[in-house]
Structure 1
Amino acid sequence: MSKGTVLISGLNGFIAAVTAKYLLENGYSVRGTVRKSSSAAPLVEGPLKSYAQTGALSVVEVPDITVAGAFDEAVKGVNAIAHLASPVSFNFDDPDPIIKAAVDGTKTLLNSAVKAGPQVKTFVYLSSIVAIMTADPAPYTFTEKDWNNWAEPTVAEMGKGTPGPVIYSASKAAAEKAFWKFRDDIKPSFTQTALNPVFVIGPALIAPKTAAEVGETVRAIWNIFSGGEFPPPGLTAGLGNTVDVRDVAAQIEYSISHPEETNGERYISSAAVATAQSTADILRKAFPDAKGRIVEGTPGQGYSPDYKLLDKENVQDADGSKAKKLLKGGEYIPHEKSVIDTAKSFAHLV
Structure 2
Amino acid sequence: MAGDLVLLTGGTGMIGFRTLVFVLQKGFRVRCAVRNQAGFERIKSLPSISNYVDRLEPVIVPDITAKGAYDEAVQGVKYILHIASPLASPNFTDFENEVIIPAIKGTVGILESAVKPAAKGIKRVVIVSSIVALVPPQAMFGPDPKTYTEADRAPEPQGGYENGMAAYIASKAFALQATEAFVKEKQPEFDVVNICPSYVLGRDETVTDAKQITKGTNGFAVGQLLGSPAPYSVPSASVHLDDVATLLVESLNPRIPGNQCYLATSQAIEGTTWAAAFDIVKRYYPKQVSEGILKVDGKSTSTNPIRFDPSHTEKTFGITFKGYVDQITSIVDHYLVLLGKE
TM range, smaller chain = 0.7 to 0.9
Cross-structure match for 1:306: none
Q: Deviations over 1:254-297 (max 9, x none)?
A: 211126x4211111100133333211111222111222434435
Given that 1:7 and 1:78 are in contact with CA atoms closer than 8 Å, whether structure 2 keeps it comes out as: yes
Considering only aligned residues, what root-mean-square deviation do their CA atoms show, in Å? 2.5
Cross-structure match for 2:176: 176
Q: Secondary structure of 1:20's match?
A: helix
Between the aligned partners of 1:211 and 1:181, the Cα distance in structure 2 is: 42
2:77 aligned with 1:82 = no
Distance 1:66 1:180, change over 3 A: same
Task: Indicate which of 279, 282, 285 corresponds to 2:283.
Answer: 285
Given that 1:250 and 1:327 are in contact with CA atoms closer than 8 Å, whether structure 2 keeps it comes out as: no
Deviation at 1:42, TM superposition (A): 2.4
Q: Secondary structure of 1:290's match?
A: helix
Residues 50-65 of structure 1: pairs in structure 2 closer than 5 A: 50-52=51-53, 54=54, 56-65=55-64
2:140 aligned with 1:144 = no
2:146 corresponds to which letter in structure 1?
Answer: Y
Between the aligned partners of 1:105 and 1:232, the Cα distance in structure 2 is: 30
2:341 aligned with 1:342 = no
Q: Structure 1: state its 5+ residue gaps.
A: 304-310
Between the aligned partners of 1:8 and 1:335, the Cα distance in structure 2 is: 28
Task: Indicate which of 323, 329, 334 corresponds to 2:313.
Answer: 323
Given that 2:129 and 2:176 are in contact with CA atoms closer than 8 Å, whether structure 1 keeps it comes out as: yes
Q: How many residues align?
A: 325
Distance 1:13 1:326, change over 3 A: farther
2:94 corresponds to which letter in structure 1?
Answer: D
Q: Secondary structure of 1:75's match?
A: coil
Q: Deviations over 1:168-225 (max 9, x none)?
A: 0000100111111110111100011101100001111334314246421101233123
Distance 1:315 1:280, change over 3 A: same
2:120 aligned with 1:128 = no
Q: Secondary structure of 1:268's match?
A: strand
Given that 2:13 and 2:206 are in contact with CA atoms closer than 8 Å, whether structure 1 keeps it comes out as: no
Cross-structure match for 2:15: 15
Identity of aligned residues (%): 28
Report which stretch shifted further, 130-139 or 115-124.
Answer: 130-139
Between the aligned partners of 1:30 and 1:121, the Cα distance in structure 2 is: 15
Residues 179-258 of structure 1: pairs in structure 2 closer than 5 A: 179-212=179-212, 214-226=214-226, 228=227, 230-231=229-230, 234-235=233-234, 240-258=236-254
Distance 1:84 1:229, change over 3 A: closer
Deviation at 1:107, TM superposition (A): 1.3
Q: Secondary structure of 2:195's match?
A: strand
Q: Secondary structure of 1:32's match?
A: strand
Deviation at 1:5, TM superposition (A): 1.1
Q: Secondary structure of 2:262's match?
A: strand
Structure 1 stretches of 4+ with a deviation exceeding 3 A read 229-233, 294-298
Given that 2:265 and 2:310 are in contact with CA atoms closer than 8 Å, whether structure 1 keeps it comes out as: yes
